[in-house]
Amino acid sequence: MLIRMYRCKDKLDILAISVINQWPTTRLRVIESWDEDGEYLHGKNSLHYEGRAVDITTDDRDTSKYGMLARLAVEAGFDWVYYENRDYIHCSVKSDSFHTPHDSGCFTKDSIVLTSNGSTKAMSDLIIGDRVLSVNDHGEPIFSEIILFMDRNLEQTEQFIQLTTEKGAVLTVTPAHLVMIWNPEKMLASYVFADQITRKDQVFVHDFTKALRPERVIKLETVTRKGVVAPLTRAGTIVVNSVAASCYAIVNSQKLAHWSLAPMRLWSSILSYMHPSNQSKETVKEEKRKKRLAVEEYQSGVHWYAKALYTIKDYVLPITWRH
């Protein structure tokens, strides 16, 4: 039941952003969602009793907008959208047997990162061992090694949140991914889920001075793209398309997520110790070729360790800690 409710909520979160972008002064209004079994307010077999359906309008109740609202609901990922009557739109999602949720956080495969040799790489071209621009515990830019891919599937189509800053930086990331933001009132940096960012928030952008500086978000929209990649750096952070982000998702704590991946960082260190860095250029080149083949041939989807963590979280973490 909870998985169904969360999936429906994810679609609502995406739709809410789309409504604001379509009509800046209008908000999404939910008039009915989950109902207790036995009340039968919607009919005996209604999907409302399974947490899979919602009835929606705009907050101004302008019926002339409902046609576009229905279209936005389809684009947000609802499986069924229709006018149940003239007063509202009914939306619902398929059951678990028809749909497997993307329980991870990723970037688009064509997102760009900066490597330690000064060149840029698309996410789809990264391999384990690449050192990419990241952020340390003090909010300073550093280069950190990629130790594994939490998720990688270049053929999978997903919905993303795309944010644009006032100076043109664009980050495209799945809704449950953590992004670094700046609170000017508290003078504090923190991480929030991508679908919780608003146009008043400030994200950190790596600018021409090679520093990370806050920039206001001026545009938010939902987009559909093919290909998902989620590299994990040793620092647990990564700068993508010049915007600072976490390597983690689903759990709303950067520290907790980073701690949970400690065994994989330890294993990576052991492997590095077993393969010393003073190798010939030919040996290093061959090692990189093998790593690329390993990524491309043996991983398509969520990494086994990440998948285990995503399963455990439902049993050990409070609902308020999860996306």
> Right CATH number for 98-257 from 3.40.50.620, 2.30.130.10, 2.170.16.10, 2.40.50.140?
2.170.16.10
CATH top class, domain 7-36+43-92: alpha beta
Provide mean pLDDT across the span 242-254: 95
Segment 116-148, tens digit of pLDDT: 999 999 999 999 999 999 999 999 999 999 999
Report, as an integer, the average pLDDT of 255-279. Answer: 82
Q: What is the pLDDT of residues 174-194, one digit of tens each?
A: 989 999 999 998 889 999 999
The CA distance from 75 to 176, in Å, is: 18
CA angle at 51 for the pair 197 and 57, rounded to the nearest 5° = 60
* Least confident segment among 21-25, 73-77, 146-150, 180-184: 73-77
Residue recorded with tokens 């384990």: 128
pLDDT band at 282 (very low <50, low <70, confident <90, very high): low
Residue 36 has pLDDT above 80, yes or no: no
Q: Point out the least confidently predicted range of 99-113, 114-128, 266-280.
A: 266-280
Question: CA angle, 139 as apex, 255 and 141 as ends, to 5°?
Answer: 115
First to last CA, the chain: 15
Q: State both tokens at 273.
A: 């110790």
Report CA-CA distances (Å) from 239 to 34, 213, 296. Answer: 39, 12, 23
Q: Please report, for the chain, the start and end positions of each structural domain, with discontinuous segments joined by +.
A: 7-36+43-92, 98-257
Answer yes or no: same fold for 7-36+43-92 and 98-257: no
- Whole-model pTM? 0.69
